[in-house]
Amino acid sequence: MPAATPAAVVVAAKGLGLTFVTNDGPVNALSDVNLEIRKGEFVSFIGPSGCGKTTFLRVIADLEQPTAGSIAVNGLSPAEARVKRAYGYVFQAPALYPWRTIEKNVALPLEIIGFNDAEKRARIKRTLELVNLTGFEKKYPWQLSGGMQQRASIARALAFDADLLLMDEPFGALDEISRDHLNSELLKLWAATSKTIGFVTHSIPEAVYLSTKIVVMSPRPGRVTDIIESSLPADRPLEIRETPEFLAIAHRVREGLRAGHSYEE
């Protein structure tokens, strides 16, 4: 990689911690997380359940409030960034509104932000093309497969052109074949839009295949155990997953997960 001026920092976390107060006492969801996400990066967060990967994404999105340390999104607080609609968020479930057609679902953020009709139509057309859902504008969510619904929810997150895309296990509920397909689609989309992506997953192949940077996390308390810069080329056919380079990175991720996992508990 050429050592030109480094890209702007999109997310910067320093000593970030989050403790939930529950009836069973405090739960340490995040502890001393130090991390930078730069513009244009595809960063995956991987780890077992309870390692705080989703919580970290939700802190970036101002859906959870940290209890220690600091975090900046585009140099602003997460709340300020959210008010400026700095990110699009894709949840584990498509969370489409069942009473809206696909195009109306994509239009939802546009209506709230207040785009005019012509702009709305143009954006719906463009984003549905990006996720290969042209022709399904008038369908209701239940008429689409799970994978198509999740693509529609990605279109919805892309529609208002936020530079940062936060994705929380978006393909976790899908079968292996749809997932492979959507992974390669997502890489194309990322190349076409040059967005910064934060991606939570618990699949090692998915993380290695997609990311430029892999953040390995471990539970109790949720913390970062390893950050791996991927050496894979930008152009990644699905077959890349059988190359020694790919397997070496996957191995390192697996080692990181094993190191972070305490068997005493």
Q: What is the DSSP string of 8-34?
A: PEEEEEEEEEEEEEETTEEEEEEEEEE
Q: Does 44 bind other proteins (CB under 8 A)?
A: no
Of 250, 49, 53, 85, which Cα lies nearest the Cα of 165?
A: 85
Q: Does 112 bind other proteins (CB under 8 A)?
A: yes
Residues 217 and 223: their CA atoms lie apart, in Å, by 6
The per-residue b/e assignment along 176-193, b for 16 or more CB within 10 angstroms, e otherwise, is: eebbbbbbebbbebbeee
Contact between 37 and 206 (Cβ < 8 Å): no
Give the residue carrying structure tokens 């152009």.
235
Q: Does 173 bind other proteins (CB under 8 A)?
A: no
Q: Does 91 bind other proteins (CB under 8 A)?
A: yes
Q: Does 250 bind other proteins (CB under 8 A)?
A: no
Question: Of the listed pieces 2-10, 23-31, 88-96, 193-201, which binds other proteins according to CB under 8 A?
Answer: 88-96
Q: How many residues are there in the chain? A: 265
Q: Does 109 bind other proteins (CB under 8 A)?
A: yes
Residues 98 and 262: their CA atoms lie apart, in Å, by 42
> Minimum CB separation from other proteins for residue 93, in Å?
6
Q: Which of 82, 125, 241, 261 binds other proteins (CB under 8 A)?
A: 82
Question: Of the listed pieces 96-104, 179-187, 200-208, 232-240, which binds other proteins according to CB under 8 A?
Answer: 96-104
Q: Does 95 bind other proteins (CB under 8 A)?
A: yes
> Minimum CB separation from other proteins for residue 205, in Å?
26
Positions that interact with other proteins (CB under 8 A): 61-63, 82-83, 85, 87-89, 91-93, 95, 97-101, 108-109, 111-113, 140, 142
